[in-house]
């Protein structure tokens, strides 16, 4: 009897050990998976997130964390909030005096400086007054061509190099009237920060999208790479019509285009993309630019810059950059779309 009891006890302990190992593997990510989708509002747009998580992962708590993180970023860089850091900096009129900024603002400004320098000023976070002048911003001046003198007057007050980034998280103005609008990279930065937060929660496979800016990590639930659709860049195309599809893994992705936001005067088209170097809307035939890069922040800003540079100079720049690829679409005068690829950009067949 004692031997039988001992055997039964050993068997129970063995089964308990197996049961424990099963649950350890399950919670360690080796067990069943689920794809969870959630969305919300931020930065004047909508975000969409997919995570491939363990069966018992609490994604509600994750969504709450994400919403809090995005709110922090919005409080820092939203020009629509009078109490945001960027609004207070824009109102700051003292030349040469240090203006203390947060980690988020400092990180975005550091990335902005890199993009400004790499693109020769084709991307510039101080261009907003010119955008307004051409009627694409807050200005009431809609569909009106401003005079050359007005463009020149504003152009003299534009230039990212008029802001000094100082170690220790400070900015300083070299010109009192200089202002910032970082909307063209802030969403990309938000995407990167959400990606970092999801990873910190132990989830390696996910897709984050905010207003069209994307970061894809790991693989989908079916073990394949994430697939990103590029809209057909024509004004009459449905907003959900896919022109090309790309596979994305562990990279940021952004698309910029001018095929919906423009006006025409005397049959001449004026794009909402303003060249900060001359103060005028770009007129180079580029209708869409998609960038793949290490971060969504860099992809976001570079897509805008390549719109300004044009497809030849844009391709030359991207082909010189490490871990960066681009897909550019130009439109001929008769409306035909022409595709241009950097050396390593791959469209899904």
Residues 212-256: tens digit of each pLDDT: 999 999 999 999 999 999 999 988 888 889 999 999 999 999 999
Which residue has 């770009």 as its token pair? 282
Average of per-residue pLDDT values in the chain: 89
Q: Does pLDDT of 24 surpass 70?
A: no
Asked whether residue 109 is domain-assigned, the answer is no
Asked whether 69 and 150 are in contact (CB, 8 A), the reply is no
Closest CA to 209 of 190, 231, 232, 233: 190
Asked whether residue 151 is domain-assigned, the answer is no
Asked whether residue 129 is domain-assigned, the answer is no
The 3-state DSSP composition of the chain as helix, strand, coil percent (nearest 5) reads 35, 25, 35
Which 8-state DSSP code applies to residue 185? Answer: H
Q: For the domain that residue 241 is a member of, what is the CATH number? A: 3.10.520.10
Query: Can you list the alpha helix ranges (DSSP code H) found in the chain?
Result: 2-25, 59-77, 85-91, 103-118, 128-133, 148-155, 183-200, 296-309, 311-320
290 shares its domain with 318: yes
Average pLDDT of span 301-315: 97
Number of domains in the chain: 2
CA 236 vs CA 3, 191, 267: distances in Å: 83, 29, 17
* CA–CA separation, 102 and 83 (whole Å): 14
Domain that holds residue 303: 33-58+198-341
Confidence grade of residue 341 (pLDDT, cut at 50, 70, 90): very high
Three-state secondary-structure class, residue 193: helix
Asked whether residue 242 is domain-assigned, the answer is yes
Name the residue with higher pLDDT: 268 or 291. 291
Q: Which two tokens stand for residue 8?
A: 């039964």
Asked whether residue 309 is domain-assigned, the answer is yes
* CA–CA separation, 68 and 28 (whole Å): 26
* CA–CA separation, 99 and 180 (whole Å): 14
* CA–CA separation, 239 and 237 (whole Å): 6
What Rg do the C-alpha atoms of the chain give, in angstroms?
25
Asked whether residue 186 is domain-assigned, the answer is no
The region of weakest confidence among 23-37, 51-65, 166-180 is 23-37
Asked whether residue 63 is domain-assigned, the answer is no
23 shares its domain with 40: no
Confidence grade of residue 100 (pLDDT, cut at 50, 70, 90): very high
* CA–CA separation, 128 and 304 (whole Å): 13
CA 212 vs CA 95, 115, 191, 239, 271: distances in Å: 36, 19, 10, 12, 19
* CA–CA separation, 158 and 181 (whole Å): 12
Which 8-state DSSP code applies to residue 284? Answer: S
Q: Does pLDDT of 4 surpass 80?
A: no
Q: How much of the chain, in percent, has pLDDT values that exceed 70? A: 89
Q: Does pLDDT of 336 surpass 90?
A: yes
pTM of the model: 0.88
272 shares its domain with 257: yes
CB-facing half-sphere around the CA of 122: CA atoms within 13 A = 18
The strand pairing partners of 109, in sequence order, are: none
Three-state secondary-structure class, residue 36: strand
279 shares its domain with 257: yes
Q: Does pLDDT of 99 surpass 50?
A: yes
337 shares its domain with 303: yes
pLDDT digits (tens, 9 = 90+) for 108-141: 999 999 999 999 999 999 999 999 999 887 656 6
328 shares its domain with 292: yes
Asked whether residue 89 is domain-assigned, the answer is no
Three-state secondary-structure class, residue 218: coil
């Amino acid at each position: 009897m004692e031997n039988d009891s001992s055997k039964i006890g050993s068997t129970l302990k063995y089964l308990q050990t197996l049961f424990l190992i099963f649950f350890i593997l399950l919670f360690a990510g080796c067990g069943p998976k689920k794809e969870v989708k959630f969305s919300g509002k931020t930065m004047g747009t909508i975000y969409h997130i997919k995570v491939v998580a363990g069966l018992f992962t609490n994604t509600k708590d994750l969504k709450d964390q994400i919403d809090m993180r995005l709110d922090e970023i919005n409080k820092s860089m939203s020009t629509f909030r009078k109490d945001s850091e960027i609004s207070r900096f824009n109102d700051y009129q003292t030349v040469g005096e240090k203006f203390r900024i947060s980690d988020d603002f400092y990180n975005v400004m550091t990335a902005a400086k890199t993009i400004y320098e790499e693109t020769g000023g084709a991307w510039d976070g101080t261009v907003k007054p010119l955008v307004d002048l051409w009627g694409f911003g807050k200005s009431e001046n809609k569909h009106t061509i401003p005079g050359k003198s007005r463009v020149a007057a504003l152009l003299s007050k534009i230039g990212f190099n008029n802001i000094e980034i100082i170690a220790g998280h400070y900015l300083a103005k070299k010109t009192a009237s200089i202002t910032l609008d970082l909307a063209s990279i802030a969403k990309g930065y938000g995407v990167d920060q959400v990606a970092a937060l999801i990873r910190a929660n132990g989830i390696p496979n996910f897709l984050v999208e905010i207003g069209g800016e994307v970061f894809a990590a790991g693989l989908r639930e079916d073990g394949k790479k994430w697939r990103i659709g590029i809209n057909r860049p024509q004004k009459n195309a449905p907003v959900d019509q896919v022109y090309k599809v790309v596979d994305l893994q562990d990279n940021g992705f952004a698309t910029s285009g001018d095929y919906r936001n423009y006006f025409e005067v005397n049959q001449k088209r004026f794009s909402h993309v303003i060249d900060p170097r001359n103060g005028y809307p770009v007129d180079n035939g580029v209708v869409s630019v998609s960038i793949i890069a290490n971060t969504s922040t860099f992809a976001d800003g570079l897509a805008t810059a390549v719109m300004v540079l044009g497809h030849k100079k844009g391709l030359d720049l991207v082909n010189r950059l490490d871990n960066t690829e681009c897909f550019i679409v130009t439109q001929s005068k008769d409306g035909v779309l022409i595709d241009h690829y950097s050396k390593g950009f791959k469209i899904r067949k």
